[in-house]
């Protein structure tokens, strides 16, 4: 099979000069993580990237696609002023919990100890509608404790334990794709079984966070917002360490469907709107405007190849999907450039992908986008990659996914 490359690709990647550990989470990382999140990157990688970018106490660090909050957590261990943004409210809450300090773990334990008996009565009474009953249980647990110092993190820890419980009890709604849930979770156990599962989830969350909290010095600012619309102060960040959603058609809304369905009982969330606004969403709007030049030559060439591919829907759905992603990514990279101070640095982790046999060389595409928007490229550094998300999604459109994708970190300076 001949692989068509949309760029110089690997020839222009540099292997020397920067030694960074792989961003992939190891099995050990996953076991110790507060929440199972397949798209998270490793703390060791973020630590090395922050060293590379000269981040110390007081430095301003940003992650515009913060996910479970690895960048903000690691930055807070060195006393940096960290800001994380994520459009998914569940991920924003998880990252608040991950940065909880010892005091907040104690507050969370006190809240549960003092309120669980009363909350249990509510849960049992309302169990006809389990998700609503769990919501009322949570309200009952938390309501007498509003205003306690450290409560935001404490609430987030309790929410994470509830999310774990709901996820573990709603496994029947999983589809063949491990990152996709089909429908609203159905919980068919008894209220006592729910309480037992919640207690063990809490124990696990507290244990992990007590260990995590040891070296946390500062508290991050976490925003549940669309990065495209978020108003940050321009020229004010010393470092940006991040990973945009990859081009794997992973649906970050479907992947957290059990948690989002629960949150929807707590507060109004427009799931359709959330899906539409995610960078990399598989939902495409009709492309009525011309594709701007700001996406660069690399991305434009990829679009030309996709458009000309003979397979079904290449020139319709897939062209729209890739074009929408590139336009959103170019806009976000321009914004990253504006937010960095002069002399500041950015490390972005991305991965090559295939559309059929066409290589879409995302590392080079991002490198070009950065350079077009005032950043100077320090290098593209590839990591060895075995367990790609392409392989997780067995129904991925990447029919040639047997060719291992390359994950790379791109380093810029402004």
Measured CA angle at 176 (ends 172, 179), to 5 deg = 85
Residue holding tokens 């099979």?
1
CA separation (Å) from 174 to 92, 134, 167, 252, 258?
23, 21, 10, 14, 10
Residues 247, 389 contacting (CB under 8 angstroms): no
Interface residue with ligand SAM, options 13, 135, 194, 252 (CB under 6 A): 252
Q: Is 87 an interacting residue with respect to ligand SAM (CB under 6 A)?
A: yes
Q: What are the DSSP calls for 179-242, one per residue?
A: T-B-SS----S-HHHHHHHHHHHHHHHHHHHHHHHTT--S--EEEES-TTT--PPTT-EEEEEE
Candidates 45, 137, 194, 227: give the one binding ligand SAM (CB under 6 A): 227
Task: Assess 13 for contact with ligand SAM (CB under 6 A).
Answer: no
260 binds ligand SAM (CB under 6 A): no
**By rule CB under 6 A, what string of x and - marks binding of each residue 262-291 to ligand SAM?**
---------------xxx------------
133 or 339: whose CB is closer to ligand SAM? 339
Between 154 and 193, how does the x/- string for binding to ligand SAM read (CB under 6 A)? ----------------------------------------
Question: Of the ranges 51-59, 65-73, 257-265, 307-315, which one interacts with ligand SAM (CB under 6 A)?
Answer: 65-73
Is 212 among the residues that bind ligand SAM (CB under 6 A)? no
Tell me how far, at minimum, the Cβ of 396 lies from ligand SAM, in Å.
Answer: 16
The region that residue 289 occupies, defined by phi over 0 for left and psi between -120 and 50 for alpha, beta otherwise, is beta
Q: How far is the CB of 385 from ligand SAM (least distance, A)?
A: 15
Q: Is 331 in the site for ligand SAM (CB under 6 A)?
A: no
d(CA 57, CA 217): 9
* R_g of the chain computed on alpha carbons: 22
Task: Name which of 177 and 314 has its Cβ closer to ligand SAM.
Answer: 177
How far apart are the C-alpha atoms of 414 and 412, rounded to whole Å? Answer: 7
Minimum CB distance to ligand SAM smaller for 70 or for 378: 70
What is the Cα–Cα distance from 393 to 397, expressed in whole angstroms? 9
Rounded CA separation 384/23 (Å) = 10
Question: Per CB under 6 A, does 85 bind ligand SAM?
Answer: yes
With contacts defined by CB under 6 A, how many residues of the chain interact with ligand SAM? 22
Q: Which residue is nearest to ligand SAM (CB)?
A: 67
Residue whose CB is less far from ligand SAM, 279 or 408: 279
Nearest to 327 by CA among 283, 362, 296: 296
CB of 94 closer than 8 Å to CB of 160: yes
Q: Which residues bind ligand SAM (CB under 6 A)?
A: 37, 39-41, 65, 67-68, 70, 85-88, 91, 226-228, 243, 245, 252, 277-279
């Amino acid at each position: 099979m001949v692989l068509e490359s949309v760029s110089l690709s690997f020839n222009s990647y540099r292997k020397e000069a920067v030694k960074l550990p792989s961003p992939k989470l190891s099995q050990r990382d996953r076991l110790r993580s507060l929440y199972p999140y397949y798209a998270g990157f490793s703390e060791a990688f973020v630590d090395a990237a922050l060293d590379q970018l000269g981040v110390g106490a007081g430095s301003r660090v940003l992650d515009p696609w913060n996910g479970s909050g690895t960048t903000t957590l690691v930055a807070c261990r060195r006393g940096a002023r960290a800001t994380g943004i994520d459009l998914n409210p569940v991920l924003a809450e998880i990252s608040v919990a991950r940065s909880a300090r010892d005091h907040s773990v104690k507050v969370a334990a006190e809240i549960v100890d003092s309120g669980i008996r009363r909350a249990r009565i509510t849960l049992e009474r309302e169990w006809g509608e389990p998700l609503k009953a769990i919501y009322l249980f949570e309200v009952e647990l938390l309501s007498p404790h509003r205003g306690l110092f450290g409560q935001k993190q404490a609430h987030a820890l309790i929410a994470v334990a509830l999310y774990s419980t709901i996820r573990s009890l709603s496994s029947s709604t999983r589809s063949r794709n491990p990152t996709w849930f089909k429908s609203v979770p159905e919980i068919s156990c008894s209220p006592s079984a729910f309480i037992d599962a919640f207690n063990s989830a809490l124990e696990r969350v507290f244990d992990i966070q007590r260990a995590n909290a040891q070296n946390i010095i500062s508290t991050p600012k976490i925003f549940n917002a669309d990065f495209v619309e978020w108003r940050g102060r321009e020229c004010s960040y010393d470092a940006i360490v991040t990973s945009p959603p990859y081009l794997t058609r992973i649906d970050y809304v479907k992947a957290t469907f059990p948690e989002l369905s629960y949150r929807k009982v707590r507060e109004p969330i427009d799931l359709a709107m959330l899906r539409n606004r995610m960078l990399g969403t598989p939902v495409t709007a009709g492309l009525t405007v011309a594709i701007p030049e700001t996406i660069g030559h690399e991305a434009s060439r990829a679009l030309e190849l996709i458009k000309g591919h003979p397979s079904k829907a290449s020139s319709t759905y897939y062209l729209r999907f890739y074009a929408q992603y590139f336009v959103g990514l170019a806009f976000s990279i321009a914004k990253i450039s504006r937010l960095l101070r002069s002399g500041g640095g950015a490390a972005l982790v991305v991965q090559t992908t295939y559309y059929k046999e066409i290589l879409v060389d995302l590392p080079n595409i991002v490198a070009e986008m950065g350079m077009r928007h005032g950043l100077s490229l320090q290098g593209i550094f590839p990591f060895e990659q075995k367990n790609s998300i392409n392989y997780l999604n067995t129904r991925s459109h990447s029919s040639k996914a047997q060719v291992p994708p390359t994950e790379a970190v791109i380093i810029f300076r402004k």
